[in-house]
Copies of this chain bind each other. A is one copy, B any other.
Amino acid sequence: VQISLRRILFGTPLRTERIVHERLPIILALPVFASDALSSVSYATEAILIQFKHARLSHDYYPLTLWVSIAIVLLILVVVVSYWQVIYGYPEGGGSYLVARRNLGLLMGLIAASSLLVDYVLTVAVSVAEGVAATFSALKQFIGPSVPLGDYRVATCVVVILLLTLANLRGVRESGMMFAGFSYGFIFVMFTMIATGLYRLWSFGEPMQSVAMPPDPHATEALTPFILLRGFASGCAALTGIEAVANGVQAFREPVARNASITLGILGAILASLFTGISYLAVQFQIGPSEDETVISQIARAAVGTQWPGGLLYYSVQAFTAIILVLAANTAYAAFPRLSSILATDGFMPRQLAALGDRLAFNNGIIVLALLAMLFIVIFGGLTHALLPLYTVGVFIAFTTALAGMVVQNLRQQERHWGSIIICGLGATVTLMVFCLVLQAKFIVPQPFIRTPWFNINEGAWIALLLMVINVGMFHAISAHYRNVDAQLAYIPPEASRPLKHTVIVLVPSRLHRGIVQALTYARSISPDAIAVHIAFDQAGKERLCEQWEKHGCGMDLVILDSPYRSLIGPLMRYLDAAEKIWDDDIITVILPEFVPAKWWHHFLHNASGWLLRLRLHYRRDVVITSVRYYLD
């Protein structure tokens, strides 16, 4: 039953040879990488608007959102161009870990790896949370505002993560065709929505459905440059996912570097257009952030309404957004276990993370990822806005380390490509500046905006940073442990010429039976001098045993140890101590006769002393433990 349930859930095992490496043409590679990068447009504009919500904004201030967005688009441009250099420099797939470790040293490599791991966890958490938000926004149009959908947010997110986990444990292959359908569909409906919205705006000057938010009555702050920078920092969430192309260059057809660069360029262009379009429409329709409805949903309502025929487009936008976000989460399910397994192979993470499961997936990594993502969802109440600050910090560390690594690599080469150095240097500098900006903007917070169910947290960038520091410390500790173990195991002493002399001890209970006699026979076959040891709790048992020993003792010596405190462990350990002193040059084998009942619940009817003894002996050096078991029917 156990086996078959497992088969139903996880499928039959797959052979190792069935690992295949798809090589995709641009037309299929683009949608595969698009999900992670493009899905960020669904929350980036909203992230900016939230920062401005508390400022005393008359509607005149709205255009600022647009200018902040344009600044972010410029940043996208810088990152895309400098990542071209990474792609050409590491056509075998240059993750930040690899680039940083090779050029900036181990510590920077581990920092990059740590930030990436935290990031993948947050990719799952943020994408699932936003996907659920998109679904709930659409649901609200159907069922009206009376149902408190927000109450089910966390539970829904957890269920989605569990389903994703199950699918990945089954070893879903990322099928290029499936991605193509959904990603191109997403791009198509988003552009259609933006185009319809612009047409509506320029032709009629008013939205299909009114969505304008009244100015926040609690807005008490003036709009300062500080708040502007904070908005910019938050909006940088739009850049998440761009680095994925550089990590996955191996998925492209030859010439890989060229194809990857072209794909990255196209992606950047689509990302920039969608982001600008969405921000522009949000400004024009005077949309404010809301916990109940995503900004994309509000824009879509304003642009096309929820009634036929526009409603078809509205619901398509919501559906494709939700799907693309789940696909984005799914890319982390591939990336996190892969990076973990690389780190495990390098000895920085537990080795179990490098083991392939039944279905050729890194099961342990997948499970760790799922647990951490669920933890974040629960702690932050499944609110995207609460999770975004953590996310952005990690992404920009990855950018900076990779680009700085490229600069160093180029400087070290014989013939220096100054163009590349300047571009990467610029990229590294800009992303570092943004990182600092994100960090300081998110540390100093005058007033908490988002209350999660557990604690007030607005800008949790410090949590991401703390996690990274802990991670790096953990990497070092694990690495030190493995190196220590390796050193101890490495030396293999020359074979001893003298044959081993055995001291064999059989533990016998107060009553002899078939199983015990079997163990005695076994012991004598190893050593003719094997000794039986009985630990006596009472006189009656002692006498019964001596009597039986006459008949069935197999001619072995019987040692009776009195145990006035009715403990098995104490007297046995003292006897072993003595035995070790007397037979100094021998190896001691302790034989534990056990009988195995037919049904598992029968274990409750028998003493667990065998297990306890074995557990205790496990920590005793220089003793070999042998179980001779006797089966009951």
Contact = CB atoms under 8 A, between A and B. Distances in A.
A513 B496 contact: no
11 contacts: A14-B565, A355-B566, A478-B605, A492-B552, A495-B517, A499-B525, A500-B521, A525-B587, A621-B629, A621-B631, A625-B627
Nearest to A485: B632
A560 interface: no
B564 A15 contact: yes
A584 interface: no
A455 interface: no
A626 interface: yes
Given A15-B565, A521-B500, A624 B628 contact: yes
A522 B567 contact: no
Interface stretch (A255-263, A311-319, A462-470, A594-602): A594-602
Nearest to A18: B564
A1 interface: no
Contacts of A582: none
Interface string A595-620: 11100001011111000000000110
A515 interface: yes
- Interface size class for chain A? 35 or more
A363 to B, nearest CB: 11
Interface string A455-493: 000000000000000000000001001101100111111
Nearest to A622: B631
A538 B500 contact: no
A19 to B, nearest CB: 11
Contacts of A606: 351
B488 A633 contact: yes
Given A350-B604, A492-B512, A567 B13 contact: yes
A394 to B, nearest CB: 25
Contacts of A567: 13, 358
B596 A618 contact: yes
B632 A488 contact: yes
A594 to B, nearest CB: 9
Nearest to A628: B624
Interface residues of chain A: helix, strand, loop or mixed (majority): mixed
Contacts of A625: 626-627, 629
Interface of A: 13-17, 350-352, 355-358, 478, 481-482, 484-485, 488-493, 495-496, 499-500, 502, 512-515, 517, 521-522, 525-526, 537-538, 552, 554, 564-567, 587, 589, 595-597, 602, 604-608, 618-619, 621, 623-633
A402 B608 CA distance: 36
B565 A13 contact: yes
Which residue among A499, A512, A623, A624 has the maximum number of chain B CB atoms within 10 Å of its CB? A624
B491 A605 contact: no
B554 A525 contact: no
B513 A566 contact: no
A481 B602 contact: yes
Contacts of A607: 351-352, 355
B502 A489 contact: no
A515 B538 contact: no
Contacts of A489: 513-515, 595, 630
Identify the interface centre among A492, A500, A526, A538: most chain B CB within 10 Å of its CB: A492
Which 9 pairs between the two chains have the least Cβ-Cβ distance?
A489-B513, A500-B525, A13-B565, A15-B564, A626-B626, A350-B605, A625-B627, A621-B631, A624-B628
Contacts of A499: 525
Contacts of A358: 565-567
Contacts of A633: 488
